[in-house]
Amino acid sequence: MIRLVTAELRRFSHRWLILAGLAILVLSQALIFANVFSSTAPPSAAQVANAQAQLDDINRLDAEYYGPDGQCMKEQEAAGPDADFGCDDQGVALTIDDFLKHAATYADVATPSMVFSAITLLIAALIISISFMTADLSSGAMSNWLTFEPRRMRVYSSKLTALLLALVAAGIVVVGSNLGIVYAIARYNGALEANASTLANDALKTGLRALVLLVLFVLIGYGIATLARHAAIAMGAVLMWTVADLYATHAIRSGWRFATTPRLYAWLNGKWEFEAYEVCTNFDAMNGCTPKLYHVYQGESLIYLAVLAVVVAVAGAIVFQRRDAA
């Protein structure tokens, strides 16, 4: 078994399509880090100078209009002794901060950036899992492979094990780099807060949950690839499932009860909420209907997703065992 897994890992590292997918994954992470740097960066000297110029212009115009000899006082005097145009009450004075972009803090980017990294990681894992299996099935290479190792379940298991080892390793790198680089960027830009360690811990938990999803996505992608045999069919099945699932979640009244999307969101973010306006917990003429709030929590979501992944992977194994490889 170890020999087979080693051979599969070697083949994994030489597939140009898989390497291209990993390269795109790296590029997507770089874009996420660039966005974090841009959003947390303090204003540049040029931006400060431009903001100061805008503030000076507004202060000058206000002084000309609301000053003792300004247009406001002239209009008030012309309107009569009882007129009050509020020339002496201008409210809170503007500051330069009103003209500068808001720099995000570590709290604004820590967990959201991890979620974006997780999404790109999961998409890449699903695509790579499908292409890794369908490349052998559709090309006829699986028949040659079974000539050297006729025990099909060993072949099926070794390919799946190699895929899991490679992608989980990539996932650990993605989660670890996101955690470290985002923290370093926030520290460099002065965006860290007193509770930075707590925020980093929350981001780490999100990343670990993403790794669990990664394993499940590999099982699903691998199983679908085995059932479909061809990458185009497998990708099409995933796309149709995604569209149907999103439609069921958002367009069918009780579709969320069996859809995958709420469970993915709940597992990754803590919970998923749904407001059912057709079920009012309270109604009054002033506020109208108070909708009933439904929740989907992490525990039930993990069970749902794990069962789905195992069923698809086992179905793929049964078909692989009984169907011709060519």
50 pLDDT more than 80: no
Question: What pLDDT score does 58 carry?
Answer: 73
- Are 24 and 84 members of one domain? no
**Cα-flanking dihedrals φ and ψ of residue 69, to 5°?**
-110, 20
Domain boundary among 83, 99, 115: 99
CA distance 293 to 291: 6
- Are 20 and 58 members of one domain? no
**Residue 283 forms beta bridges with which residues?**
289
Percent of the residues in the chain that have a pLDDT greater than 70, as a whole number? 76
Among 28-32, 92-96, 191-195, 315-319, the range scoring the smallest mean pLDDT is 92-96
Structural domains in the chain (count): 2
- Are 128 and 85 members of one domain? no
Domain boundary among 99, 119, 141: 99
Q: Kindly report, residue by residue over 136-159, the tens digit of the pLDDT.
A: 777 766 666 666 666 778 888 888
Q: Kindly report, residue by residue over 229-272, the tens digit of the pLDDT.
A: 888 899 999 999 999 988 888 877 777 788 898 899 899 888 88
Domain span holding position 53: 45-99
- Are 222 and 275 members of one domain? yes
- Are 204 and 267 members of one domain? yes
Question: What pLDDT score does 309 carry?
Answer: 95
Alpha-carbon separation of residue 99 from 49, 52, 55 (angstroms): 10, 8, 7
- Are 134 and 233 members of one domain? yes
Higher pLDDT, residue 119 or 46: 119
Cβ-contact 189, 37 below 8 angstroms: yes
7 pLDDT more than 80: no
pTM of the model: 0.79
- Are 243 and 286 members of one domain? yes
CA distance 306 to 302: 6
- Are 198 and 81 members of one domain? no
Q: Kindly report, residue by residue over 8-39, the tens digit of the pLDDT.
A: 677 777 777 778 888 888 999 999 999 999 88
Tell me which long-range contacts 58-66 makes (C-beta under 8 A, separation of at least 24). 58/94, 59/94, 62/90, 66/90
Q: Kindly report, residue by residue over 190-223, the tens digit of the pLDDT.
A: 888 888 899 999 999 999 999 999 999 999 999 9
Cβ-contact 298, 267 below 8 angstroms: yes
CA distance 320 to 156: 8
- Are 94 and 112 members of one domain? no
Mean pLDDT across the chain = 82
- CB environment 231-269: b (16+ within 10 A), e (fewer): bebbbeebeeeeeebeebbeeeeebbeebbbbbbbbbbe
- Are 210 and 249 members of one domain? yes
Among left, alpha and beta (phi > 0; psi -120 to 50; other), residue 283 is beta
Among 78-82, 154-158, 224-228, the range scoring the smallest mean pLDDT is 78-82
- Are 302 and 160 members of one domain? yes
- Are 57 and 123 members of one domain? no
